[in-house]
Amino acid sequence: MGDVQRIFYYHVPSAWTAFLLFLINFVASVVFLIRRDTKADILALVTAEVGVVFCTVVMATGPIWARPVWGIWWAPTDIRLNSTLVLWLIYVSYLVLRRFSTSSKTASLAAALAVFGALDVPLVYFSIWFFRTQHPSPVIGGGGYLYPAMARALLINWAAFLCLAWLVCWTRYRLEVVTREVEEAQALESLLEGSR
């Protein structure tokens, strides 16, 4: 495939990282729905935001890779492509809901949407086993083969992407905690001033 094959080292680790972040979002959303834990809600929000960024990288690099290899930018009947697009749209909807809704039920509705969205992750991942698709068989865990040097480079890239995701999530988590503390302090101050 030549140089276009190098996109593989961005495309695949980005997908794996997005899947992991959406899994964390799912667990945090379930914990929030059960316990109403604010920290779980913040973790769910943060992992959805960063997961959407990595999923966007997947959605951008996929067609760039597909055009020279398959001869088309997008295969409209490919279940993996379409289910990934649906996954991306669900989590973008999640973020839009979190950003623009002012209801007291926003966090609960978003958590329910995240649980629903997480159901699409296994469909995306296993679609190449269950359906006929343009995507090749998986090279790891699916009977395919990857040269050891390529596998090493892929895993190093994934480790780097995981470190980047962790750093961004950690920074964004701390920012969200401080933002909520400031908003609570401002609301309390407004109440105290209003009662005078």
Task: Note the pLDDT tens digit of each residue in 21-77.
Answer: 999 999 999 999 999 999 999 999 999 999 999 999 999 998 888 787 778 777 777
The chain-wide mean pLDDT, for the chain, equals 87
Instruction: Output 52 or 129, whichever has higher pLDDT.
Output: 52
Q: SS3 letters for 139-184?
A: CCCCCCCCCHHHHHHHHHHHHHHHHHHHHHHHHHHHHHHHHHHHHH
Q: In the prediction, which pLDDT does 24 show? A: 97
Distance CA 138, CA 191 (A): 58
**pTM: predicted TM-score of the whole model, two decimal places:** 0.88
Across the chain, which distance is largest between two alpha carbons, in Å?
73
Radius of gyration of the chain (CA): 20
Distance CA 159, CA 60 (A): 21
* pLDDT band of 135, cuts 50, 70, 90: low
**Beta-carbon contacts of residue 145 (< 8 Å; ≥ 6 apart):** 139
